[in-house]
Amino acid sequence: MKRDLIMGLPLDTPKEFITEFKDANIYNSSCSHEARVYFIDTGNGFYLKSAEKGSLEREAQMTDYFFGKGLSPRMLSYISRDRDWILTERVKGEDCTDFEYLSNPKRLAKLMGERLRALHSMDCGDCPIQDRVSEYISLAERNYSTGNYDKSSFPDSFGYKSAEEAYKVLSEGKHLLKNDALIHGDYCLPNMILDNWRFSSFIDVGNGGKGDRHIDLFWGSWTLWFNLKTSEYKNTFLDAYGRDAINEDILKIIAAAEVFG
């Protein structure tokens, strides 16, 4: 996990955080343009995440829910002012992009599949988000209507030759998507923490809720390709998850939705 020592928390940080952590070393741990993440090196450590106002409300809700199931770090504070801020405790371990894990890709892919099946097998009748599928489809349809056809993350667009072709697949198959599992929503290597190959925590669960398991299966396959620069371990991942619960046709529908961002 990236950690670059900086002079301190930025000036727009809520005063209560600046006061509480005034003597701590602060590290920039951001890995995206949408959010800023700071590691606060005091005690057992903390992470402070900031993004646009209102954008972290769902993540705060789902982090609290996942924590209750032993799946995420404890959230200590959520503040929404000019920006949103979430403070969480650090959990022991490193994310799955650490060299220790990337250097053993077959073991990593197998573990990713097994942990995902365990997540999807959990009861989620009390989940605060009960219909991720409707939100997921609505976002793809809205992005299609505004011309958002994303080839940057998916260079070959999964074989779809145009936005229209992908949208046709989505439109004709979207009824097959079911709210059938507790999903992470962004099941990528940086979002799972391991401690010496033992599961420690999920992070960045703002897209989680009760949704279609194939969303996570899609992203699990994608992250192994993206981070390992090969598709060699996709089958290891899917086999470890269990082919009995995978519908390849639905994975193609998810791929069609994802090209719209």
Phi, psi of 242 (to 5 degrees): 120, 110
Contact 19, 48 (CB under 8 A): no
DSSP string, 196-224: TTEEEEE---TT-EEE-HHHHHHHHHHHH
DSSP 91: P
Catalytic residue among 12, 64, 123, 186: 186
Q: Which candidate, 135, 225, 234, places its Cα nearest to that of 183? A: 135
DSSP 179: -
35 forms beta bridges with: 51
The rounded distance, in Å, linking the Cα atoms of 223 and 113 is: 12
DSSP string, 143-176: HHHTT----SSSTTGGG--SHHHHHHHHHHHGGG
Contact 62, 206 (CB under 8 A): yes
123 is catalytic: no
Instruction: Catalogue the active-site residues.
Output: 186
